[in-house]
Chains A and B, each alone.
Chain A
């Protein structure tokens, strides 16, 4: 009985993970510009890998009776580094002047960045 519940947990978390990674791949192909692709790449992928690692951890814990703490550490590290990576890619793309998709509704950052650049030039001149 317990084995059945454990197997259901393991299989569902791995399936969730694979679905999220599939969403990432589809998003990377279909989305229009670098920012919306960063959305797909930085977090659905993080969540997917986290779910798969969780499934692996549960399998070795509940079926094989072996607790591997390295997998838990891996989950935590992914969780910390994933969003930072997404943020840095988005920010460097914006600051190096990559344009938004032309159907974007609004851009409240452009005046701020222009202002900042002007100040920087004044300081250097």
Chain B
């Protein structure tokens, strides 16, 4: 992936040298041309075409912003009720992610989504212990995290 990006930059610089104009718009044209070339030759590289991964990152960011705002509104509704019907609990979430940066990213995303706070990671880093503010059903909470964040992170790192 890093190699493909390097190659794309190289092609863009080559384009600037070919057209003897050194400014940003020529660079962008060269970069787009390089992207096209890399897409045509994607069969020769190990791994996926790198724009797929960039697109997955953008989708992850959009998904995260959506979840963040929805969940904040939920917490607002919980907190301003007079009786405040919260049921806190700590539950275990088994994860399939393996690399350290993926687990860190997942933990940060879970923590920033209101209603859930990562308290601890088990020593073999296969389980996250999460404190939930309003806990109805373990399966439901686990499912929602698995289907949203974990899937999106897997999509990025695949």
Contacts and interface: CB of A to CB of B under 8 A. Distances in A.
A72 interface: no
B74 to A, nearest CB: 11
A35 to B, nearest CB: 5
A109 B89 CA distance: 10
B118 interface: yes
Contacts, number: 110
SS class, residues of chain B in contact with chain A: mixed
A106 B72 contact: no
A90 B119 contact: yes
B86 A87 contact: no
B118 A87 contact: yes
A32 B79 CA distance: 11
Contacts of A104: 87-90
Interface residues of B, number: 33
Chain A contact residues, majority secondary structure? helix
Contacts of A101: 88
A91 B72 CA distance: 22
Contacts of B123: 116
Interface residues of A, number: 41
Contact of B133 (A23, A36, A47, A113): A36
Contact of B68 (A47, A87, A109, A116): A47
A47 to B, nearest CB: 6
A103 B87 contact: yes
Given A27-B75, A43-B114, A109-B119, A90 B91 contact: no
B20 interface: no
A38 B107 CA distance: 15
B84 interface: yes
Please name the 5 residue pairs, one residue from A and one from B, whose CB atoms are nearest each other, closest first: A83-B111, A106-B89, A105-B89, A83-B108, A109-B129
Interface of A: 19-20, 23, 26-27, 30-33, 35-36, 38-40, 42-44, 46-47, 79-80, 82-84, 86-87, 90-91, 94, 100-101, 103-109, 112-113, 116
